[in-house]
Amino acid sequence: MSFGYRILGFGAGGGAAVLEFDYLVVAGGGGSGSDDGGGGGGGGYRTSYPGGTKVEIASGSTITVGLGGTASTGPSPDATSGGTSTAGDISSTGGGGGGNPGQNGLDGGSGGGGALNGSGGSGNAGSYPVAEGKDGGNGGGNNSGGGGGGHNAAGSNGPGPQVGGAGGDGTANSITGSATPYAGGGGGGSNSSNIANGGNGGGGQGGNRSNGTNQAGDDGKGGGAGGGPGGSPVRVGEDGGTGAVILRDPTGTSLTVAPGSNQTSTDSGATIATFNVSGTISF
């Protein structure tokens, strides 16, 4: 066959064309804890680009993009972890949710931050040989949330008193032709005027007592959410950002993606499919 693809399943039933793609698979970021809560962990980040082993995808396959985890809205319910993203046999684990006071952060692609003596969650929950993310930071002993982990760096511990830890940085990737950072962790919540920054790559800023503003993780980057600030009534967390799946075919085959919120592009003779939501790819 032309265009660098092959056909599987010869016989009466025919078969589907299969292509080898470079990939970037980023899971959904974790939601954050409330009331000096822990930041959400960045979504798990796995890539072959540049120079790694490609993934085989059959025409008509479903590509799954993980949703962001949900926020804690008070003492309960707790924040949740992000959803898994999958392309072919490659999966990345959703970022861990951040803890509420006294709770540990959840394990995930990158771990969620703990809050008020809680420990940060562990990263690389998928136990991959090349780690998909780092650990979340520990909560401080005096009303300070730990930062969520990012792909490139662990979340910072809440230093206290009443100051949240910064989210861990994510990692930039140029699979689309332009370097873009993904999978940053959310900053921890603070019970003071200090603000804990989210990690580069979509991590949300942690909230502070003065203005209460904490940020959701960035959609399309798998960013972890920033922890809720201290104060009364209880200040809530935020949602993690949705993940992304990006597939790059170096042979330049024409690609069709659905639904319409997904898109194709070209770069240096390669064709690229970017999935912002779950959908299908055909060629």
Whole domain around residue 141: which residue ranges?
Answer: 22-241
Residue 35: what pLDDT? 93
Structure confidence by residue, pLDDT tens digits, 167-212: 999 999 999 999 999 999 999 999 988 899 999 999 999 999 887 7
Report DSSP letters for 21-67, one per residue.
EEEEEEPPPPP--SSSPPPPPPPPEEE-TTTS--EEEETTEEEB-PP
**Residue 8: C-alpha distances to residues 16, 18, 40, 142, 188 (Å):** 6, 7, 41, 60, 49
How far is it, in rounded angstroms, from Cα 139 to Cα 135?
13
Residue 12 inside a domain? The answer is no
Which amino acid makes up residue 246? I
Token pair of 101 as six digits: 């006071």
Residue 252 inside a domain? The answer is no
Structure confidence by residue, pLDDT tens digits, 238-270: 999 999 999 999 999 999 999 999 999 999 999
Residue 232: what pLDDT? 79
Residue 17 inside a domain? The answer is no
Q: How many CB atoms lie within 10 A of CB 269?
A: 9
Residue 233: what pLDDT? 80
Region 52-58 average pLDDT: 98
63 or 9, higher pLDDT: 63
Q: Which residues of 169-208 are buried (b: 16+ CB within 10 A; e: fewer)?
A: bbbebebbeeebbbbbbbbbbbbbeebbbbbbbbbbbbbb
The total number of structural domains that make up the chain: 1
Q: 4: pLDDT confidence band, cut at 50, 70 and 90? A: low
Residue 1 inside a domain? The answer is no
Does 13 score more than 80 pLDDT?
Answer: no
Structure confidence by residue, pLDDT tens digits, 130-156: 999 999 999 988 789 999 999 999 999
Whole-model pTM: value is 0.94
Owner of token pair 């771990």: 111
Q: 10: pLDDT confidence band, cut at 50, 70 and 90? A: very low
Select from 147, 34, 170 the least CA-distant residue to 92. Answer: 170
Region 67-73 average pLDDT: 97
Does 5 score more than 80 pLDDT?
Answer: no
Residue 265 inside a domain? The answer is no
Select from 75, 117, 126, 69 the least CA-distant residue to 241. Answer: 69
Residue 126: what pLDDT? 98
Structure confidence by residue, pLDDT tens digits, 95-118: 999 999 999 999 999 999 999 889
Residue 98 inside a domain? The answer is yes
Q: 6: pLDDT confidence band, cut at 50, 70 and 90? A: low
Residue 114: what pLDDT? 97
Does 9 score more than 60 pLDDT?
Answer: no
Residue 13 inside a domain? The answer is no
Select from 229, 212, 185 the least CA-distant residue to 68. Answer: 185
257 touches 112 (CB < 8 A): no
Average pLDDT taken over every residue of the chain: 93
Task: Say what percent of the chain tops pLDDT 90.
Answer: 84
Residue 66 inside a domain? The answer is yes
